[in-house]
A and B are shown apart, each in its own frame.
Chain A
């Protein structure tokens, strides 16, 4: 860094919700390893080029900074990971090497593409039911509140075999785990306790009387293989599903629909050719400028990246969304091309720590889009795209509302 180089405040500012921050292009071309100040006042290095972001994320030597308040922790991380962060949390995941690999493979069995494909009919039924309720209220409404927010929680409840009448409890707990401004620390502790108590009883019931759900299947298969999953592991995985799988997917559904309707020729192209749904979902993930804070890495040794040697102890912020707009990695990166193939975007990270639940997220996004195209072909934004408001969240990026009419 030259002595007169500017230190940027991070996260960067957005002029409108669906346009990238103006700094991205300049940083990628002139300052690929930028110095930024994160919300807790500490400094970090921001990577914005596709190749640099991918290389850093895939480097098995480095993981995220310690969430329990270790060096380089940012306000952003402690905010959205609040549930996984309290001492009462039943959920703790090994971050490194062999232990991480073993944990990941144990939990990975929940999320195989085949298991997710088997959930498609249930996901479609949930989307249909939510759209029945939304369209029953009139001819316009907030797609985020009526569809995007409840859908992923209901899907998680189905995976766990939780009955429909208890879905709202899960919505409440999930919101409580993640929303630091609405609930106090005591309320959060209480919610973690209620969730753990509910799940303990629920797991006992499933052990006694297995049903046709993923939780029962995993209990049976794992004991059949002589590697029975413990209650704590099942509880932790259920908690992880909510913390990692609700708000992220809810926001992505809202952003995907908003991007497709912001230029309605995109929506019309999909109506004409629904076989583009799969590539459209990938392109929405790539094109999304509200990917959130980015993933952080704590350097435990010196490393050369982007032509610069970063010393041990540095905190690096990988801006995946900026990398996804890198012209050197994607032709016409500023265009949303619904047929773009292949699309090796970084929305789920890269390497050994890339998102464990990505097959679940992809399947939910695909099914939601298929159902919307079938049910509401006349869908359009109810406000100008430039008036969409961003959620000023810290780690998870999204839109406050997605007002639509049909």
Chain B
């Protein structure tokens, strides 16, 4: 699994950090998303998908890798 984010879309809601704090963080200066784990380990896949689905700005894309 690979994650990409769109910083322009991000509205800083913080849902991704509340759901998957090992994968996502927010910049201190403006709350915009930071990806900590661009290729999250297996045990983070479900939380990462959840974070992507509920992102209010649809700023997180999950790409499945073989």
Contacts and interface: CB of A to CB of B under 8 A. Distances in A.
A354 B28 CA distance: 19
A380 B58 CA distance: 39
By size class, the interface of chain B is 20 to 34
Given A113-B21, A344-B54, A354-B56, A359 B14 contact: yes
Given A105-B12, A348-B13, A112 B26 contact: yes
Mostly, the A contact residues are helix
A163 B26 CA distance: 29
A350 interface: yes
Interface in A110-132: 111-114, 116-117
Given A105-B30, A108-B30, A362-B18, A344 B53 contact: yes
Contacts of B18: 113, 117, 278, 359, 362-363
A353 B50 CA distance: 21
Contact of A351 (B50, B53, B57): B57
Interface in B50-66: 50, 53-54, 56-58
Interface in A217-237: 221, 225
A112 B30 CA distance: 8
A44 B57 CA distance: 26
B13 A358 contact: yes
- Size band of the A side of the interface? 20 to 34
B30 A358 contact: no
A108 to B, nearest CB: 3
Contacts of B19: 278
B21 to A, nearest CB: 7
A105 B32 contact: yes
A355 B31 contact: no
B15 to A, nearest CB: 7
Contacts of A359: 13-15, 17-18
Given A113-B14, A342-B49, A108 B31 contact: yes
Contact of B29 (A225, A342, A351): A225
B1 interface: no
Contacts of A358: 13-15, 56
Contacts of B53: 342, 344
A58 B57 CA distance: 7
B28 to A, nearest CB: 6
Nearest to B29: A109
A350 B19 CA distance: 17
A349 B11 CA distance: 12
12 contacts: A108-B32, A111-B31, A112-B26, A114-B17, A221-B29, A282-B54, A342-B53, A343-B54, A354-B56, A355-B13, A358-B56, A359-B18
